[in-house]
Amino acid sequence: MTEPDAPSPWSRDAVAAPPNVSHETFGAAHEAETGEWEDTPLAAASKQAAALRHASAPPLPRPGQGCRVFAVANQKGGVGKTTTTVNVAAAMSMQGLSVLVVDLDPQGNASTALGVAHPAGTASSYQLLLGELPLEQVVVPSKSHPRLSVVPATIDLAGAEIELVSLPAREHRLAQEIGHKCGQYDYVFVDCPPSLGLLTVNALVAAREVLIPIQCEYYALEGLAQLLGNIELIRSGLNPALTVSTVLLTMYDRRTRLADDVSVEVREHFGDVVLESVIPRNVKVAEAPGYGQSVLDYDPGSQGAQSYFEASREIALRAQTEER
């Protein structure tokens, strides 16, 4: 009997779904978002050129004013907050900077995406906030990037807000720990949960800058007024140095007029803090966390990897320009 032909290594049947994702769901997303262009010779050449550019890019400058601490925040879920945290951090570490990611989301998605195991009981941001362990005892070095470290989150963090209420200096717990060790890093990115509770308040008090990812979809600005209002309250009472320095447009679909309309509206509202770099809706970005990788490791030539690489450079180089 003749054996059936094996599927092409690039076909839907040959691409494994990430853990906990059904093959049908994964395949549908793959077909819907990859697009025909991804399989053309031009796309292959573009990917190769992008990968080479990543490898040969000059190192990014270190911040002139010491460590830059970002809270990556947006109370609206599904906007690419964790994805942005992971990929900007990975891109910067690939370009010579020392980076720390602090995962404050009880779901621990940033930890997963960076390949860090975080079962309940793991030394994590939970113990850090409660003062049970110092920063150096909860930091986990990345296996993929020698200059990238992670403070993982566990499900234990889900009850931390209740426990923090009765503790002294409850809003300053993270700031106290990061402040003692900040000199070891060039950049610190705190991945906030999609809420405005004490975990997010701790991130905003610890940070000097806020990075807000906004998806190019309907209701993109929904809830931002409340976030900006809370940032203003924290600036006036707890952290006068806090500023919204960076807005990043994510999930941009160039095929739709809506994406352009949202881009225009966001740029009119926020002005120059909006990065020129835009993150496209890209299947590789969605696939990468399921394999415990940033998109720059999973597929360095993809449009998503290129875009996050450029965004990381823009964040670092903008700061250098402002310091002059």
**Would you write out the chain's pLDDT as a tens digit for each of its 324 residues?**
444 444 433 333 444 444 444 443 344 444 444 444 455 665 555 555 555 455 567 889 999 888 999 999 998 878 889 999 999 999 999 999 999 999 999 999 999 999 998 888 889 999 999 999 999 999 999 988 999 999 999 999 988 889 998 888 899 999 999 987 888 999 999 999 988 899 999 999 999 999 999 999 888 787 788 899 999 999 999 999 999 999 999 999 988 899 999 999 999 999 999 999 999 999 999 999 999 999 999 999 999 999 999 999 999 998 766 665
- Predicted TM-score (pTM) of the model is 0.83
User: At 293, is the secondary structure helix, strand, or coil?
Assistant: coil
With contact defined as beta carbons under 8 Å apart, do 263 and 216 qualify? yes
Domains and CATH numbers, the chain: 61-322 (3.40.50.300)
Q: How far apart are CA 127 and CA 83, in angstroms?
A: 24
Q: Give the model's pLDDT for residue 26.
A: 40
Q: How far apart are CA 116 and CA 153, in angstroms?
A: 10
**In the sheet that 209-215 helps form, which strands lie side by side, from edge to edge?**
140-141, 148-151, 99-103, 187-191, 68-72, 209-215, 243-252, 274-280
Q: How far apart are CA 36 and CA 86, in angstroms?
A: 28
With contact defined as beta carbons under 8 Å apart, do 197 and 161 qualify? yes
Q: How far apart are CA 131 and CA 274, in angstroms?
A: 36
| Structure tokens belonging to residue 220 | 């993109």
Q: Give the model's pLDDT for residue 217.
A: 85
What contacts 265, CB < 8 A, 6 or more positions away?
Answer: 220, 221
